[in-house]
Amino acid sequence: MTRSRAALLALLTMVALSPATTALADEGPEQIVNGTFDSGTAPWWSTGNTTLAIDEGRLCADIPGGTANPWDVIIGQNDLPLVAGDTYAYRFSASATPAKVGKALIQLPVDPWTQYLSANPELSVSGNDHSYTFTAPVSLPNSQVVFQLGGSAEPWRFCMDNVSLKGGAEPEVYEPDTGPRVRVNMVGYLPQGPKNATVVTAATTALDWELKNADKQTVAKGRTTPRGVDASSGQNVHTLDFGSYRKPGKDYTLTADGETSRPFDIAADIYDQLPTDALKFYYTQRSGIEILDSLRPGYARPAGHAGVAPNQGDVSVPCQPGVCDYSLDVKGGWYDAGDHGKYVVNGGISVHQLMAAYERDRAAFKDGQLAIPESGNGRPDILDEARWEQEFLLSMQVPEGKPFAGMAHHKIHDRSWTGLPLLPHLDPQPRELHPTSTAATLNLAATAAQAARLFAPYDPAFAARNLKAARRAWAAAKANPARYADPNDGTGGGAYNDADVSDEFYWAAAELFITTGEKEFKDFVLASPHHTGDIWRDRGFDWGNTAQLGRLDLATVPNALPDRARVRQSVVEGAEKYLAVQRAHPYGLPYNPPDFDWGSNNLVLNNLVVLATAYDLTGHEKYRAAVREGMDYILGRNALNQSYVTGYGEVASHNQHSRWYSHQLDPALPNPPRGTLAGGPNSGIQDPLAQRLLKGCKPQFCYIDDIESWATNELTINWNSPLAWVSAFLADKSGRSDCRVRYTAHGSGQFTGQIVVENTGRQTVDGWTLRWSFPGGQRVRQDWGAALSQSGSVVTATSSGRIKPGRSVTFGFVATNPSGPNPSPEVFHLNGERCG
């Protein structure tokens, strides 16, 4: 996880609200000395790179450009007493030429620089008045007022006046603007899917509701269902169901209890763009490559950490002192979150879920879909994007002949924390490899084994390289089964510690077995307690709980596991668990622990992955409906009445914690790109801003869309990965077809395949195409009975013939075997619809 330096060091903070528009009551004596600058600049001080001067009665300074962090240029005053429990009003007027966003702090004057107030005032050329309150948590004789003004590429001028700090103020109470009390999916609803909304109301009996179209005409009406007090929000709520209305249209609204919802659409294509946007997020997270404005207008930046001064670069990174005696070229990969760190355990689940989305339906992802530099190379863009990260994971493996050879270094990041904003190419910090870990090594083994089978049709050499790395990593992990990441290794980057790697062992063994079919991995899978245990946590799975990844792939990717039917049934049982939770929740949420976790939105989405997989396995509509309803929460049907995906919905997160999507701090920088998921409510409220504004929050209210709230509003690669997976599932319009397919194959080296397609419905199929995907590198060489074409691993058989009800057709082919096992494909689409 990412931290700003100041936020990480804060033990307890009382942070500012937005600038007040009314006077703040204060009765105490003035704490600031010479806040009007009538007697010169003393006792104000500054760092040596700027000089204080009086200009028309204001204190001014020319701020140098080319600094990296806010604290590189400071103006301050020391020795200000604070009294524990007293609430202080802090005021000042300030200007900037050109306009800037500054950082105003009241803090401990020595390490750990504990902050009692932190604010980011917008400084205009004409100047503005700023007012804040905070309550001192401790008594202190010598607190410090500072303005941190560094981090700008170009020089600028700062001026301030009328600085005041007085006690006796009234504490301000943070109240989020939740808009209308009728909460809906602001993006919209599918015509054939569930349509539910939640109404926040004091009423305890059913209420009338109306659905109105864009012309304000009532097109449906009904009565709400009272649900009582929702524990996750503390609200008394009703739910309403308008699923029987299916007419497509734009700007519908729901009215109940005198409130009208924000507008939404009903359309079959509402999710068509979201998978692409969720995946396009990864290009602007790339390290080691220039981000091109021609591909991402407004997001262009030089290559980060490519070894160009002042950047230290990732082309030859040494270990932390005493860890190793070599350096590695670990250029590339994705920045994990809003900082510049790269972590194998977070990269592992992220790249896995991108490849898993592709493996679920390879025909859904095309070359050119994402507009990335590799577009047009003949491979689906999703695989090219995954490869950018997978290459980095491979580079983190310890070379032969070195201690712990075959293991993977846990992470690489800056030696010390940096501030916001800071573009990657301007990061001046030295970079370090951190010790190897068993968890990181098993993440590499799992993703490399998965990549070996998926890249086989496109790049056999890269596939072989991955399989070799996976085998090396597996052997190294077995030889070092308890080499855990240090939980205290959190300076300059998150620790990502995990003291139980039995789940990673299970996941890696599962991927290696699927790819190779070898007995060693099968036996390990069957012996693992995760294979038969209930792994479906109420809180969902994540980077630290990965047994679910192995179970899902064993259930859905063709393999010869002897108890596979039981494995598939266990996924359905997990889906039933989440379905029950969702049905009991008045916001339709398949996640309802008593306190919400860091990154709760990602856990919600991962539970939806389980429900979606149950639909794929059974065809039971209730599971697909549950996924559709679960996405409603992410896109607005929640206590805060906002979408957590940037660019989706009338009110959506757009100030996620990031050093380069930092528009809130620097108007010249962009907000996060469309399709970026915010972490979401987090009962832990670990960051200073959340601790001040959200103290005592009910779980759904433990969120604020502010760049300083890294505990609730972070963006990460492993939060966008389930968003991409689930949105691809939602965009899949294929239904179930009345057909049955029997596939048989014989031979080695080359094999002969025969497919029988039976029409189990009541209507004649007049002309048909049958689509399937080979699990590995199989290639069709000859066909009969139908015309076969192949793109990558996707094969399409075409015929102009008919298949009458109760009848079948047979066709066949000759194909080359893959390097590993040759299991039968299990998913077939007849004329675009999935066969039962």
Please identify which of the residues 305, 340, 425, 657 carries the catalytic annotation: 657
459 is catalytic: no
Contact present, 778 and 747 (Cβ < 8 Å): no
Beta strand residue intervals within 657-793, DSSP E: 736-737, 739-746, 750-759, 765-773, 779-784, 787-791
Are 193 and 175 in contact by the 8 Å Cβ rule? The answer is: no
- Neighbour count for residue 283 (Cβ, 10 Å): 24
Handedness of CA 822, 827, 831, 835 (dihedral sign): positive
Could you say which of 72, 230, 339, 542 is catalytic? 339
User: Nearest Cα to 482, choosing from 444, 521, 441?
Assistant: 441
529 three-class SS: helix
Selecting among 714, 758, 783, 829, the annotated active-site residue is 714
Examine the residue annotation and report whether 413 is marked as an active-site residue of this protein.
Answer: no
The three-class DSSP label of residue 570 is: helix
Q: 366: closest CA among 382, 344, 390?
A: 382
89, β-bridge pairs: 133, 166
Is 705 a residue of the active site?
yes
- Sign of torsion, CA 431 437 440 444? positive
Cβ atoms of 412 and 320 closer than 8 Å: no
> Long-range pairs for 760-767 at CB < 8 Å and ≥24 separation?
760/805, 760/806, 760/836, 761/737, 761/805, 762/738, 762/805, 763/738, 763/805, 764/802, 764/803, 764/804, 764/805, 765/739, 765/802, 765/803, 765/804, 765/830, 765/831, 766/802, 767/799, 767/800, 767/801, 767/802
- Buried residues in 423-442 as b, exposed as e (16+ CB within 10 A): bbbbbebebbbbbbbbbbbb
Query: Token pair of 41, please?
Result: 């600049």
310 preceded by cis ω (within 30°)?
yes
Residue 413 and residue 432: Cα distance in Å, rounded?
Answer: 6
Give residue 426's region: left, alpha or beta (phi > 0; psi -120 to 50). Answer: alpha
Which of the residues 161, 498, 705, 783 is marked catalytic? 705
Q: Which residues pair with 431 in a beta bridge?
A: 414
Residue 136 CA from chain centroid, whole number:
35
Q: Could you give the dihedral angle defined by the CA atoms of residues 225, 199, 682 and 650, in that order, rounded to the nearest 10 degrees? A: 140
CA-to-CA distance for 101 and 120, rounded, in angstroms?
A: 6
The rounded distance, in Å, linking the Cα atoms of 585 and 227 is: 9
Rounded Cα distance, 136 and 554, in Å: 55
Q: Do the beta carbons of residue 724 and residue 677 sit within 8 Å?
A: no
Count CB-CB contacts under 10 A for residue 396.
27
Locus of tokens 């800071």:
422
Distances (CA, A) of 409 to 320, 345, 646: 11, 10, 33
Residue 404 phi/psi, 5° resolution?
Answer: 65, 30
| Helices vs strands, H then E, count in the chain | 15, 39
Look up 657 and say whether it is catalytic.
yes
Q: Is 344 left (phi over 0), alpha (psi -120 to 50) or beta?
A: alpha
Nearest CA to 473 among 394, 529, 527? 394
User: Distance (Å, rounded) from C-alpha 105 to C-alpha 114?
Assistant: 10
- Which residues are designated catalytic? 339, 657, 705, 714
